[in-house]
Structure 1
Amino acid sequence: MSALILIVDDDKAHLSMLETMLKGWGYSVEGVEDGADAIEKVMETPFDAVLMDVRMAKVGGIEALSRIKEYNPAIPVVIMTAYTSVDTAVEAMKLGAYDYLTKPLNFEELKMTLERSLDHMTLIKENESLKERISENSSLTNIIGNSKPMKELVGMVKTVASTEATILISGESGTGKELFAKAIHANSNRKKAPLVTVNCAALTDTLLESELFGHEKGAFTGADKKRDGRFMQANGGSIFLDEVGEIPMPMQAKLLRAIQEREIQRVGSDKVFNVDVRIIAATNRDLKDEVEKGNFREDLYYRLNVVNLWIPSLRDRGDDVPLLAAFFIKRFSEFNRKQLKGFTPMAMDVLVKYDWPGNVR
C-alpha cells in the first residue's frame, strides 16, 4: 500500500504540479489550498506525511504546523517556502517540522526528503507497535502460574479485556488482584490512556470523595486550590478501585451515580462533568454477604459485578509454588548479585505443603 501524503499550497498551479509529480513517484496524494483545511484533513485521515507551504493567505503554514503537531506529534511535516528566512526555518523546526525546503524546489532533494520522512514515520509506527506488544505481553507474563485455575483466569482476562464491561476481582489479600487489573487494562482498547489506582480502604469518607471526584478551592479545610479527582485523571482510560468493599455507605451512593450516569461533581461544586472511565474493582470481602448484612448497596454490587474474576489462594494452587519460588530466588539473586541455584527437593516439598496465609506478598 502506497504512502498517503497531504500537500498544502495556496498556489493552485504549484499544488497541481506537486500532486502530479508525487503520484508519478508512486504516492497516494491529497491536496488542499489552506492551513485550516490541512488541520481538518489531518484530524480526519491518517496521513503518512505532510508537505506544506509556509506562506498562505488565510491560515499560514506555521500556525497549521503547530496545530497539526498538537493533534499528531508523530506525523512528519516538510515545510516549503519561496522566502529564505532563517527565523521562519528555526521557528518551524522548533515546532517539530521534519525538514525545510526552499522554492523553487530541487525535485531530487524533495524526493529524498519525502523518502526519509516516510522512513522516519515507519520507524515510529514500528516502535509504537513494539511497545504495545511488550506492554501486553509483560502484563500477562507478570502473572505467574501454570495451574489449571491460573490458566483459566488468564484466558478470561484475554476475553474480557477487549470489552467495556465493568469487572469485579475477588480474592484474599496477596492473591494479585492489582496485577490482574493491570493486565486487563494493558490488553484493552484503553491501554494508551491511564490506569489510575485508588486504595479505597486508606481514606476517610470525605477524603475519599475528594480523591475520586476532586474538589474546589475552599471546599474544606486544607483545600487551598482546585484539584481534579481520580475519575478525571482516568478519563478515557480505566480506574482501579482497590478494596471497594471498604467504602462507607454514604460514599457508595455517590460512586453508584458516577458509574450509572458517567458524570461526577467536585466537592464544593454544582457543576457536572462527564467522564468516560472503565471501572475495575477489587475486594477481599464477600460482597454478596456484605449486601445481605446491609453493609454494601445491592444496586452498586450489581453495577460492579458485571464480570467476576475470582483469584484462588496460593494454597489452592500448589502447582504454582515452584514457579513462584523460582521467580523470587532469581529476583533475589539479581538484586543482591548472588548466584543461588535453587531449592533442595526437601525444601521445595515444605514450600508446596505450606498453606501460605498471606498468599504472595
Structure 2
Amino acid sequence: KSLEAHRLIEEMMVQANVCAAETLEKARTPLIYRVHETPSQEKIFNLADFLHTIGKSWTKGEAPTTKRFNKLLGEIKDTAHAEVVNEVVLRTQMQAFYTPSNVGHFGLNLDRYAHFTSPIRRYADLIVHRGLIRALNLGDDGLTDREMSELEGIADHITDTERRSMAAERAAMDRYIAAYLEEHVGALFTGRITGVTRFGLFVRLDETGADGLVPVSTLGDEYFIHDDRTHALVGERSGKRFPLGYNVEVLLAEATPITGGLVFQMMSDPAPRDPNAPSPRLGMRGRTGKGGGFKSGGGKGGPKSARARNGGKPLNGLKGVRKGKRK
C-alpha cells in the first residue's frame, strides 16, 4: 500500500539521520543536531489539569515519555474526545531546533538525531554532509576548522531562518485563502474550534482549512471567561461553553487579503453547562471586577482579524498527532 511505502521511506530517512549523528560522534567531529526537548513541567501540569476535566488521569509527578503520550492517544482514539486531546497533546510539545549540543529528540524518542536527508531545502543537512566528508576523508570540501568553531552561531541562524520561512509560508497561504474567500463574505461555513483565547475563538473551516477569529465580544449577551484548564470560553451566568474541538457553524463577516485575516460570526449555540467541570478561573475580572472576561453583544473587546495558522509535519514518534512542529 502507498501508506506503508511512505512509512518505510520515512523510517529509512530517520535511521539515516541517526546513523549520520552516530558516525560523526564516533569520529569525534562536531555536528549540528536536530533536538526536541522534553515538555516543560508547566505544560505537563496544564495537560494533567485538562485531562482531569474529561475523566482521564495523568500524574503530575510522572516523567513525560513518548510511550506515555502514545498510551494516552491510544486510549482516546475513536472517542468523542479524540480531536481535542490530540490538539492539547500537540500544544504540550516543545518546538524543535538546531544546536551543536545534543539533548535528544523527545518527539521521535531518539537519543541523537541530525538532519542528513534533505540537503535541497536544509542547510543543516549540508553541514552534516561536510562534517562526514571531513570525518571519513572523502574529499577536500569538508568542514573547516573555523566553521567547526562557529557551529553554535550557524545552528542559531539556521533555526531562525527556518522559523521565518515557516512564518512566511503561513502568511502567504493566509493571504491566498483570504483573497479567495473575500467573494464569499456573508456565506455560512462549518468548522471546528482549534484555539481558545481570552479575546475569542479560532475556527478552522472544514472545506478550505482556513482559520479565522470569532471575537469574544460577538458571542452573546453575557461575559465569557477563558477557562485555561478546560480550553473553553465559559458563559459567566449560564455556564454554557465553547470548548476546543467543538463543531460549529460560522458566518464569514470579514476577509482581508492584504493581511490574511478572517473574522467570523458564531452561528451555533454553545454547548450546555458541564456539571463535572470545575468552576472557571475568573482571572483579573474575578479579583478586580475587570479584565478577566469580555461582555458580548457587539462591544469592542476583540481584535478585528486573525492570521490563519497552518501546522507542519507530525511528530512521528507520537502516534496520532496529525499536525505539529516539524521534526
- Class of the TM-score when normalised by the shorter of the 2 chains: under 0.3
Relative to its length, the structure with more helix (as a share) is: 1
Normalising to structure 1: TM-score of the pair? 0.22
Normalising to structure 2: TM-score of the pair? 0.24
Greater RCO between the two (CA within 8 Å, min separation 6)?
Answer: 2
Structure of higher CA gyration radius:
1
